[in-house]
Amino acid sequence: MNPTEPQHPLLAIVRGTDADAALKTVLTLADEDITTIEVSLTTANALGVIERARDALGAHVLLGAGTVITPDDAARAADAGAGFLVTPGLLDAPLPELPVVMGAFTPTEIIIARDRGARAVKLFPSSLGGPGYFRALRQPFPDVPFVPVGGIDLTAARAYLAAGALAVGVGSPLIGDAADGGDLDALRLRARTWHRALTDELTR
């Protein structure tokens, strides 16, 4: 399994100030059948969270590291057990042999990302252009696997998927304050809502 073949078109982005809460957030998401999860390296003890989550989760969950900015970030994330890497922008350095979802926004950046071996392109910040901008990009790049990220609510998520996005990356609208020690029961309810809504979008 890799991020270019997700089981469900939702990439959950976990970012928090409490390592134990972030781990519980990852495990709760997985328990609710959200099987592609990114732990941002800005999370408290992010590498420890990835390592502990990897040990606890089965092979059906794809666990990656996000906000990868340097080769050192990438190497440490790989050592912790990350199955893929997500960058906020273009990286020109050698990276571990893991699938990379590379951040880009303009047509030029998208071309560079593909030339540098990105398995998929993280369209970031997608909120700047919205689904209309994404639809325009799909015309010259019909074969690029896109993952829009940034300011995506359910309405926008449906629009991106309808326009051909591989998946959508969602942070706070899904995670809320769970990774900071917030309510996990509320997280479960949001996870079920998002999972159901995007599953329904796929079956239309």
Mind telling me the catalytic residues? 38, 122
Distance CA 191, CA 174 (A): 7
> What are residue 168's DSSP bridge partners?
10
Structure tokens at 94: 């050698």
* Nearest by Cα to 122 from 100, 144, 104: 104
Cis status, amide bond into 125, omega within 30 of 0: yes
Q: What's the burial of 75, exposed, middle or buried (CB within 10 Å: 0-12/13-18/19+)?
A: middle
> What are residue 146's DSSP bridge partners?
121
Inter-axis angle of helices 130-138 and 154-162, to 10 degrees?
Answer: 10
Distance CA 111, CA 176 (A): 34
